[in-house]
Structure 1
Amino acid sequence: MGFTGKCYGETSPSRVSFVSREMPHVGEYVVMEYDGRRVLGMIESLLRGVPGVTEDLNDPETVERIVRVTGGRQYLRGTVRILGDVETLEIPRVPPGPGTEVRSADTETLRRIFGRGSLTLGRLLSADVPFRVDINRMVTRHIAILAVTGAGKSNTVAVIVDELLRAGGTVIIFDMHSEYVSAEFNHGSVNPIGAAINPARLSLREIKRLSNVTKNAYVQERYLSRAHRRVAPEFEGGGVSAEDFLRRMHEELDHLLAENSSDKRSIIDVQNKLEYMAEAYDEIIDLETGGIIERLRLNHANVIDLGLVDETGSDVIVSHVLQEVLQSRKDYINHGEGLETPVFIVLEEAHILAPADRSTESRYWISRVAREGRKFGVGLALVSQSPKSLDPAALSQANNMIIMRLIEPNDQMHVQRASEALSDDLLSHLPSLNIGEAVVVGLMAPVPAMVKIGEFTGKLSGGDPDVESIWRGMGGKG
């Protein structure tokens, strides 16, 4: 059932206040007709009261008498955020006048507005209307998916990936918790990619990160750099193993040791750290010559399983792949050689890869891809349950946001600073969203919306274990 109300007080082209006897809902869309145009708005806040019962009354009996005299007659007051002309979605320059009727938007109008996109994300919370977004604007302008644990982030990612596969898209998922490696999508297949890299293909910065040669170890850094500068050109054509590369690095360090005996301790430390790298990261040091780019499959969900890789290893793998993808797409656009298809990259635990309080290799390359990826068809999805811990520069580059339940005020304010489209009223509803409900803002959506994300009907391997059933099944054992 719809409702009608009336604008009152002073109005503006962006917001108006209304009063009504009928009960609308926060997030409900309304239409106002004035100056020869139909204008769409969304109810952002509501207050409910009884005439005569004001805030300065503190006597329950007085309140009861007033309610009895008025017959319990109530009124609703609220604010409407004006979203734009129904046909063009342009914000009108003239505000509605006091007394302008505010009424529920009809289903046909909503279907016309929210059915323009090609990716079905879910349905409006306020009406049984599909909510679709623009794939081009989602991929090229990037997206952040933010929520507390258990609010529905994984389901949202799965819905988006499945819809992109339906459209023939190529996706890379950095799977931090091994949720997607054995997933079953309805509209495409998973291409599992082992989290393995050949150190011969790594940059000096990445080798320093894995071997723990820190910035303040100046002498070690100098000799590692010299050895790498001599060895790296030998491996530019490929065709050699990781063992060959590490052996050559040790040989060059031995030569440097003979030439610089005064720095014996530092050079030996570098050799020890390279040995530590080979042992500590045995699972990701790849003896094959091919890189991850060569293992990608078009029109698939390419899942790089980082579930057993530590934070440092994940940082290097993610940064390396981001760099390779961006460069390969540049090569294709500029020279016709390289990765021929646009790519959408999902970064789980983005606040670990691009933290707000320290520099990482991934943080640098996430920022680079966010700035340059639009021109070369490389899109990012930053997924995080701790927005306040995520690099603000990276978050601000996401021109689209799916914001699910967020409870902590610092998380909410961090998100609001990164998105001009998230108003105070919309922000206030984030703690009360149910599982799977979200506020969606950004260029991919026609207007801000409160949405029930669709349920992914394929299979994911993540989720919380049924602890009670496991315990009961183990009854009597031990």
Structure 2
Amino acid sequence: MTSAPDGVATSLDGRQFRFRTPVETPFVPGGFVTLRDGGAAGGAAEAREQLGQVDDLDFDGDDTLAGTGKLLGERRADGSLDTGATHPFAWAAVDAADDEAVELVFRAARATLDVGSLIGVDNVRARLLTHRFNRHTFWCGQSGSGKTYALGVLLEQLLVDTELPMVIFDPNGDFVRLRELRTVVDTEAERTLAGKDIRVLRPGDSENPLLARFIDFPMRSKAAVLRLDPIEDRAEYNALVHLDVREEARRPDGIVPALLASGDPAAEALARRIENLRLIDWEVWAEGREAVTDILDDRPDATVLDLGGFAYPDEHLVVALAVLDDLWAKRESRRPLLIVIDEAHNLCSPDDDRPLQRAVRERIIQIAAEGRKFGLWLLLSTQRPSKVHPNIVSQCDNLALMRMSSPLDLEELGTIFGFAPPSLLAHAPSFRQGEALLAGGFAPAPMLVKVRDRLTEEGGADVRVPLRNPAG
């Protein structure tokens, strides 16, 4: 004898369903349910069991809840889930799905990237679709939400589960220990991670310096470094054009003397500009050494660019521009690469219009709009979505949202990411540290997740407040 169902539902189109249920039922927005109809709409006699997910839920009287949801697939006799087969029905019994049924959702989608546990489901791991990282991803959460730690979990699992190389723009040193395992290697995942080629490039590092080669920049980017406008600074710009073909341009310490000795007033003005900006003093220039673009050509499994250690404030932008320009110039090779930009508001701000900042932002906008077909895929992480250029955010098909209290930011995210149910977005202000909403192409269904532990050390963990010795 079967127990009474939790509620009743109807579906007119075989895609969405409406239901009513007693107030004490365990249904929650984002929860999974089974729907057993005694016959399809239109008179078909065969009973079916379908899986669905609750989108919205509200009170409908003193002792009744009413809600809506979407159908995910039909459960076959062999225990599989056919996500291509959903059907309308006039009436169906609705019950909370058990763990076995929820597991079918992930298995049917071939989701294998283990990022944690489903909130409210004890025995099902939250898994993402690795092949859907061929779309841009937006990762956001306010300070203290666990955003950077969770991003580290994701990057580790991508390294374990895929052969997708990545370059990580790391402004705070959060990922510089990505190759340092937290425990003795004793699991298959840890052994895989330990065997990966992970390079960490730092300013001033004698063995692995973070360098760029000025001579390799396209003319527009050289002008951005020098803060030159081709119209307003046309004489100096022209001097730069002609300097580009001279041998002395290959040696930073030879540029200014050559310009001053030329007898050309425009060239002399360009030399004074270089001196005033102190460009020759910047440690970012490769000269005869290996540049970051040379290393990326070798395609390590991960290349971490520690951007925070430069002495001059624009040197990190030079590195970003060098990498992005080079990747775009070589896009026709169609070599897949995940471009991870942590604290993306530093490189993608819609408000900062300095020439070098603008050049970096415009290149990222171009990659966001056109890079996917060439295998250039972005993963952007930030505390403030509104501080990232909207032309970049709007191109993202995957969303990871951690604790976010700003109503303005949440409203904007809801507008841009229409695939994220508003009822789940509404959970964001109350998320605990490490909890997240994952939605979009890389998720089998929108889901609330508690992020798993990291395998490697976190580079930029918070500094703790020193406590007074209680015994003192």
Task: Please name the residue that 2:224 is paired with.
Answer: 209
Kindly indicate whether the alpha-carbon contact (under 8 Å) linking 2:26 and 2:96 is maintained by their aligned counterparts in 1: no
- Cα distance in 2 for residues equivalent to 1:29 and 1:163: 25
- Say if 1:392 and 1:418, in contact at 8 Å, map to a contact too: no
The gaps in structure 2 that reach 5 residues or longer are 41-46, 75-80, 182-189, 202-208
Match of 2:235 among 215, 219, 223: 223
Measure how far apart 1:299 and its partner are: 4.2
User: What is the Cα deviation at residue 3 of structure 1?
Assistant: 9.6
* Amino acid aligned to 1:447: A
Query: Partners of 1:90 and 1:275 in 2: how far apart?
Result: 65
Alignment of 1:459 with 2:457, yes or no, is yes
Residues 23-34 of structure 1 correspond to what in structure 2 (within 5 A)?
A: 23-34=26-37
Higher CA-based Rg: 1
Q: Does 1:195 align with 2:195?
A: no
Structure 1 residue 445, shift from structure 2 partner: 1.6
Once the two structures are superposed, what CA deviation does each residue of 1:111-154 show, in whole Å capped at 9, x if it has no partner? Answer: 2221412322222113121122222211x211110110121221
Match of 2:177 in 1: 182
**CA distance 1:391–1:41, change in 2 (3 Å):** same
Deviations 1:382-422 (A, max 9, x none): 00100011111101111111111111011112212221202
Unmatched segments (≥5 aa) in structure 1: 52-74, 261-266, 334-340
* Cross-structure match for 1:6: 7
Aligned equivalent of 1:393: 391
TM-score under structure 2 normalisation? Answer: 0.80
Seq. identity, %: 23
Deviations 1:137-177 (A, max 9, x none): 11x21111011012122122211221222223321111110
Cα 1:280–1:182 change in 2 (3 A) is farther
Query: How large is the RMSD of aligned CA atoms in angstroms?
Result: 3.1
Deviation at 1:29, TM superposition (A): 0.8
Q: Structure 2 counterpart of 1:147, which letter?
A: G
Q: Against the structure 1 CA distance between its residues 439 and 277, is the aligned structure 2 distance closer, same or farther, given a 3 Å change threshold?
A: same
Letter of the 1:41 counterpart: G
Give yes or no for the alignment of 1:242 onto 2:234: no
- What is the number of equivalent residue pairs in this alignment? 423
1:379 counterpart letter in structure 2 = W
Q: Is the 8 A contact 1:174 1:303 kept in 2?
A: yes
Match of 1:379 in 2: 377
State yes or no: 1:144 paired with 2:144: no
Contact between 1:356 and 1:391, CA under 8 Å: does it hold in 2? yes
Contact 2:99/2:124 (CA < 8 Å) preserved in 1? yes
Corresponding residue of 1:421 = 419
- In the TM superposition, 1:8-407 aligns within 5 A as 13-20=15-22, 21-34=24-37, 35=40, 36-47=47-58, 51=62, 75-86=63-74, 87-90=81-84, 92=86, 94=88, 96-97=89-90, 100-115=92-107, 116-127=110-121, 128-138=123-133, 140-166=134-160, 167-183=162-178, 184-185=180-181, 186=190, 187=193, 188-193=196-201, 194-213=209-228, 215=229, 218-219=231-232, 221-234=233-246, 240-245=250-255, 247-251=257-261, 254-257=262-265, 268-279=268-279, 282-296=282-296, 297-309=298-310, 312-330=314-332, 332-333=333-334, 341-359=335-353, 360-407=358-405
Give distance in 2, aligned partners of 1:131 and 1:311: 40
Greater helix share, structure number = 1
Residue type of the alignment partner of 2:153: V
Contact 1:210-1:277 within 8 A present in 2 as well: no
Match of 1:67 in 2: none
More off after superposition, 106-115 vs 405-414: 106-115
Matches within 5 A, 1:435-450: 435-450=433-448
